[in-house]
Structure 1
Amino acid sequence: MTASSSPSASSSRSRRTYAAGAVLVAAATTAVLVLLPGGSDSRGGGARGSAAAGSASAVPAPADEGLLALARRDASDALAVGRADAPVVMIEYSDFQCPFCGRFARETKPELLRSYVDEGILRIEWRNFPVFGEESQRAALAGWAAGRQDRFWEFHDVVYGESRERNSGAFSTDRLVAMAREAGVADIDRFRSDMSSEEAREAVARDRDEGYGLGVSSTPAFLVNGEPILGAQPTDAFRSAVEAAARAVEE
Structure 2
Amino acid sequence: MNNKIITIFLAIGALIVLVFGIDIIRNRSNQEKEFDFSGITRPILYEQSPRTGPSSAKITIYEYADFNCPSCKAQSADLNRAIEKYKSSVRLVWKDFPFLSASSKQAAIAARCAKAQEKFWEYHDWLFNNQNILSDAAFESGAQLFGLNTLAFTQCLQDDTIENLVEQDFREGQALGIDSTPTIVIGDVGLVGVSSYQDLEAAIINELSK
User: If the length of structure 2 is used for normalisation, what is the TM-score?
Assistant: 0.80
Residue aligning to 1:26: none
Instruction: Give 1:193's match in structure 2, choosing from 155, 158, 171.
Output: 155
- 1:14 aligned residue: none
Structure 1 partner of 2:80:
110
TM-score after normalising by structure 1: 0.68
| 2:35–2:176 contact (8 Å) kept in structure 1 | no
1:172 aligns with one of 118, 135, 145 = 135
The Cα offsets for residues 219-249 of structure 1, whole Å up to 9 and x where unpaired, read as 011110232111111111001101110111x
The alignment status of 1:140 with 2:111, answered yes or no, reads: no
Q: Which runs of no fewer than 5 residues in structure 2 stay unpaired?
A: 1-23
> Larger % of helix: which?
2
Residue identity opposite 1:98 in structure 2: C
| Aligned counterpart, 2:193 | 231
In structure 1, distance between residues paired with 2:55 and 2:82 = 16
Tell me by how many angstroms 1:65 deviates. 8.5
The structural deviation recorded for 1:69 is: 3.5
Deviations 1:181-229, CA, capped at 9 Å, x for gaps? 33x2421111111121011111001000001111111001111023211
Q: Offset at 1:78?
A: 5.8
1:80 to 45, 51, 57: 51
Whole-angstrom CA distance in 1 between matches of 2:119 and 2:151: 15
| 1:149–1:185 contact (8 Å) kept in structure 2 | no
**Identity score, percent:** 22
Q: Match of 1:56, SS?
A: helix
Q: Which residue of 1 aligns with 2:164?
A: 202
Contact 2:64/2:94, CA 8 A, preserved across alignment: yes
Letter in 2 for 1:234: S
Q: Contact 1:130–1:208 (CA<8 Å) still a contact in 2?
A: yes
Amino acid at match of 1:196: Q
1:161 correspondence with 2:129: yes
Task: Note if contact 2:68-2:101 (Cα within 8 Å) is conserved in structure 1.
Answer: no
CA distance in 1, matches of 2:54, 2:78: 19
1 CA distance for matches of 2:166 and 2:150? Answer: 20
AA aligned to 1:135 is S
Aligned partners of 2:91 and 2:46: how far apart in 1? 8
| Residue 121 (1) aligns with residue 95 (2) | no
CA drift of 1:83 comes to 1.4
Q: Is the 8 A contact 1:94 1:221 kept in 2?
A: yes
Residue 56 of structure 2: SS of its match in structure 1?
Answer: coil
C-alpha separation between the residues in 2 aligned to 1:226 and 1:185?
A: 39
Equivalent residue, structure 2, for 1:56: 30
Assess if the C-alpha contact under 8 Å between 1:78 and 1:150 holds in 2: no
1:63 to partner: Cα distance = 8.7
What amino acid sits opposite 2:185 in the alignment? L
Please state whether the residue corresponding to 1:176 is helix, strand or coil.
helix
Q: Which has the larger radius of gyration?
A: 2
CA distance in 1, matches of 2:62, 2:49: 14
Relative to structure 1, the CA distance from residue 207 to residue 84 in structure 2 (aligned partners, 3 Å threshold; closer, same or farther) is same
Residue type at the aligned position of 1:124: L
Q: Distance in 2 between matches of 1:89 and 1:244?
A: 13
Structure 1 consecutive aligned stretches of length 4 or more whose deviation exceeds 6 Å:
65-68
Structure 1 counterpart of 2:129, which letter? G
Q: How many residues align?
A: 187
Aligned equivalents of 1:128 and 1:90: distance in 2?
14
Q: 1:32 to 1:149 in 2, by over 3 A?
A: same
- How far is 1:68 from its partner? 6.3
Q: CA RMSD in A?
A: 2.4
* Gaps in structure 1 of 5+ consecutive residues: 1-29, 35-54
Aligned-pair CA distance for 1:150: 0.9
Conservation of the 8 A alpha-carbon contact between 1:145 and 1:195: yes
